[in-house]
Amino acid sequence: MEKRVVIINGYAESGKDSFVELAKEFVQLKNYSSVDEIKEFLYQIGWNGKKDNKTREFICELKRMLTAYNDYPFECLKKEYEAFKRDSTYVLLFLHIREPEEIKRAVREFKAVTLLIMREKRNIYTNSGDANVDNYKYDYVIENNGSKMELCSKVKKFLDEIGLLI
């Protein structure tokens, strides 16, 4: 079975993490966000893990500055991808990326497909990462407005469409 990389995006609380958790029921996967290392740094300086508008903006701005300084967030994505390729345990890597230009770059670099998770009830956030979620033409768009069972059915269909279900 060929390994696959999926760039997943969606507004906060759209169900991205639920989608990934449900996918774990069917395939062995790794899950990594382009801001995971930034969050680790925030924990070290006293962050309690709560994501409010102020924290979301800070994460977004810190990622932008680190990208401009030395491309650190994308270098971390590359390391995660290389580790995924070497590990025969996993067949799927989810990469959470918000910024359209970084999504384009990751699609080219990792031969990835893109997935947008949508939900009718949308929280409005003020940071540029959330503001640009719609500014990309995704390969797949999944509406997450129903039950967990309905989302599970959509997960199975998606995994089948990308060739990961037998």
Question: Model confidence over 79-124: pLDDT tens digits?
Answer: 999 999 999 999 999 999 999 999 999 999 999 999 999 998 666 6
Q: Is residue 166 part of a domain?
A: no
| pTM beyond 0.85 | yes
What is the per-residue pLDDT for 124? Answer: 64
Q: Does residue 100 form part of some domain? A: yes
Q: Are strands 4-9 and 92-96 parallel, antiparallel or unpaired?
A: parallel
List the alpha helices (DSSP H) in the chain.
16-23, 36-44, 53-70, 72-86, 100-110, 128-131, 148-161
For residue 11, tell me if it sits in a domain.
yes
**For tokens 């300086």, what's the residue?**
45
Q: What is the CATH number of the domain that holds 100?
A: 3.40.50.300
Question: For the chain, how many structural domains are there in total?
Answer: 1
**Could you tell me if residue 153 is inside a domain?**
yes
Range of the domain at 76: 4-161
* pLDDT band at 129; cut points 50, 70, 90: confident
Q: pLDDT per residue over 22-50, tens digit each?
A: 999 999 999 999 999 999 999 999 999 99
Q: b vs e for 136-159, b when ≥16 Cβ sit within 10 Å of the residue's Cβ? A: bebebebebeeeeeebbebbbebb
In the chain, the amino acid numbered 162 is: I
